[in-house]
Amino acid sequence: MSQILRILNGEVVGELDWDLRPGSTYEMHLDVHHAHRRQGIGRSMFEELEGLVKSYNGMSIYSFCAGDNQKARGFFAAMDFQSLLVEDFYGKGRNAYFLWKQVGRPA
């Protein structure tokens, strides 16, 4: 696992972790401290990862979130991810969204 961090006044206010998966695709998960949301921290960490993935000639980035996580859905939509609803992923009535963004193309 690799990490991208944002630190403010000595405290971690944002964390994005990522791993390379088969097929030159990258899995990511991110969290921003609740008191520092909607300040562009998530976007800046994601854009840093996207730049890295492009420099590695990676194909895509994916993530997932709970079906009722409106904040994450808004964020991933703003980052131009596509989404797929997976019903009952976390158990009966507990849905998930699978989220992905293509960043490169096969040579």
Compare residues 31 and 102 and give the one whose CB is closer to ligand COA. Answer: 31
8/78 with CB nearer ligand COA: 78
Residues of this chain that interact with ligand COA (CB under 6 A) are: 29-32, 37-43, 63, 65, 69, 71-72, 74-75, 78
Of 75, 86, 82, 87, which is closest to residue 101 (Cα–Cα)? 82
Tokens of 22: 């088969």
Q: CB of residue 4 vs ligand COA: minimum separation in angstroms?
A: 12
Query: CB of residue 56 vs ligand COA: minimum separation in angstroms?
Result: 21
Distance from the Cα of residue 46 to its chain's centroid: 7
Q: Which of 89, 41, 32 is nearest to 65 (CA)?
A: 89
Question: Of 25, 69, 13, which Cα lies nearest the Cα of 4?
Answer: 13
* Closest approach of ligand COA to the CB of residue 59, in Å: 19
Could you give the maximum distance between any two Cα atoms of the chain, in Å? 44
Q: Which is nearer to ligand COA, 12 or 57 (CB)?
A: 12
Residue 30 or 58: which CB sits closer to ligand COA?
30
